[in-house]
């Protein structure tokens, strides 16, 4: 049973992020919700590579002939974190600009482009 616990946590985190996007009115909280979703996906990727009792997948540190955890999901997670950093930085800068130009952060008021 313990084996599937991380995937339940991923489901809960993802739902929390998704619900927060729709319930929140403030743009910065929506950006936080999006980073919650991306951390949920990172946890999902890392949990994929886990082998029970595996050690760190670096020969230099772990020595020879031991059961190792899969390294590829860790590389995928690292890249996903790098991408999430870049998108969050750009998203927050855009939110800063929107606050400068619209004077508000309420997502319902930022709708000059409609129809």
Partner 1 sequence: MNWNDHLPALLLAVPLFGAFMAPIVCLFGKTLRNVLLIGISFVTMLVALLLWRNVLVGGIAVYVMGGESFNLTLPSGMALPIRIIMEVDAFSAFMVVCGSIASFAGALFSTNYMEKFSGIGRFVSLYFLLTLGMLGMMITGDFFNFFIFIEIASIASFGLVAFWRDKPEAVEAGLKYALVSQVGSMIFLIAAGSLYGKYNALNMAAIGSMLQFGVMEKLALVFIVGTLAMKCGSFPMHMWLPDAYAEAPSGVSCLLVAVSQASLYGLMRVCFSLYGINLGGSFIPWMIISMGLASMFFGVTMAVVQHEIKRLIGYHSVSQVGYMLLGLGVGLLVLTDARGMAEYGFTAMKGGIFHIFNYTMYKGLLFLAAGAIYYATGKRDLNEMGGLARRMPFTTAMFVIAAAAISGLPPFNGFVSKLLIYESVFAVHPALTVVALLTSVLTLASFVKVFQTAFLGPEKSVFTGVREVPSGMLFGMGVLTLAVLGATLFPSWTLSNLVEPAAKALVDQAGYIGAVMGGGL
Partner 2 sequence: MRPLSIVVRTGCDLFAWFLVIFGSTIIIHGDVTPGGGFQGGAIVATFLSLLLVAYGGKKLLAWVNVGIFNGMLVFGLLAFFLLGFLGFPHSFFFNFLAVPHEIAQATGHGVIPPSGTIALMDIAVGLEVAGGLSLIVLSMFKGVRLFREEHFEEESGHDR
Partner 3 sequence: MFGTVYTGFGYWDVTAWIVFFAIASGLTLWLRAQGRDDYKEGTDQDEIYWSGNPVPDDGAEISVPASSAYWGFRKAMEPFYKVLTGMHTGIGTDIVGFYVLTVAFMAVFILL
Q: Which stretch binds partner 2 (CB under 8 A): 10-18, 24-32, 40-48, 87-95?
A: 87-95
CB of 9 to partner 1, least distance (A): 14
The C-alpha angle 100, 31, 22, rounded to 5 degrees, equals: 110
Instruction: Give 16-71 as a DSSP string.
Output: HHHHHHHH--BHHHHHHHHHHHHHHHHHHHHHHT--TT-B-S-HHHH-SS--B--H
Q: Is 48 in the site for partner 1 (CB under 8 A)?
A: yes
> Binding to partner 2 by residue 66, rule CB under 8 A?
no
C-alpha pair distances (Å), 41 with each of 5, 22, 48, 49, 81: 15, 19, 11, 13, 10
Interface map 10-29 toward partner 1 (x if CB under 8 A): ----x---x--x-----x--
Site string for partner 2, 13-52 (x = CB under 8 A): ----------------------------------------
Q: Which of 52, 61, 72, 64 is nearest to 5 (CA)?
A: 52
Q: Is 68 in the site for partner 1 (CB under 8 A)?
A: no
Q: Is residue 52 a contact point for partner 1 (CB under 8 A)?
A: no
Question: At its nearest, how many Å lie between partner 2 and the CB of residue 96?
Answer: 5
């Amino acid at each position: 049973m313990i084996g599937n616990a991380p995937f339940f946590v991923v489901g809960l985190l993802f739902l929390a992020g998704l619900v927060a996007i729709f319930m929140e009115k403030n743009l910065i909280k929506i950006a936080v919700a999006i980073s919650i979703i991306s951390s949920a996906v990172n946890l999902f990727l890392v949990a994929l590579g886990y082998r029970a009792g595996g050690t760190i997948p670096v020969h230099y540190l772990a020595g020879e002939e031991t059961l190792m955890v899969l390294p590829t999901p860790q590389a995928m997670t690292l890249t996903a974190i790098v991408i999430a950093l870049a998108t969050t930085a750009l998203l927050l800068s855009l939110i800063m600009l929107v606050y400068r130009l619209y004077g508000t952060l309420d997502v319902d008021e930022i709708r000059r482009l409609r129809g």
